């Protein structure tokens, strides 16, 4: 009986490890980045006077998830193209957003960001 329980516990632990690996290595998609930053839209277009907490949480999440150089470049390109497609975005609000959220992003943020200049070192 003890051996049977040990096998069950070991099997359960292995399943948890296997299921956890893809989540730990997941790369954020552009759609996920857009979803994370959707609550920033009101501030960036001037319809909200201050940055919502959800927006700052999204900015931090996007930056935290962009760990490797390719991930930072992809996040930069996603944000750049998204901002360029939204009418009425205030470039000054975009530039102020990281400071307002107390986030130092590991890549440039803006419709005119040069995503090719992102370096390995932060």
Can you read off the two tokens belonging to residue 61?
Answer: 């999440």
Q: What is the mean pLDDT of residues 38-65?
A: 97
Q: Is the pLDDT of residue 29 over 80?
A: yes
- Cβ(117)–Cβ(74) under 8 Å? no
66-87 in b/e form (b: 16+ CB < 10 A) is beeeebbbbbbbbbbebbeeee
Backbone φ, ψ for residue 112 (5° rounding): -110, 20
CATH of 28-117, one of 1.20.120.160, 1.10.3470.10, 1.10.10.60, 1.10.110.10: 1.10.110.10
Read off the pLDDT of residues 56-79 as tens digits, 9 standing for 90 and up: 999 999 999 999 999 999 999 999
Break the chain into its structural domains and give their ranges. 28-117
The model carries a pTM of 0.75
């Amino acid at each position: 009986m003890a051996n049977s329980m040990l096998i069950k516990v070991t099997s359960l632990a292995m399943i948890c490890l296997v299921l956890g690996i893809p989540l730990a290595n997941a790369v954020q998609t552009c759609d996920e980045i857009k979803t994370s930053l959707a609550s920033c839209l009101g501030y960036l277009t001037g319809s909200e006077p201050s940055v919502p907490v959800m927006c700052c949480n999204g900015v931090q999440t996007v930056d935290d998830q962009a760990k490797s150089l390719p991930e930072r470049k992809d996040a930069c390109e996603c944000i750049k193209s998204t901002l360029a497609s939204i009418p009425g975005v205030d470039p000054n609000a975009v530039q102020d957003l990281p400071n307002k959220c107390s986030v130092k992003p590991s890549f440039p943020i803006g419709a005119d960001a040069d995503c090719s200049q992102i370096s390995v070192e932060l």
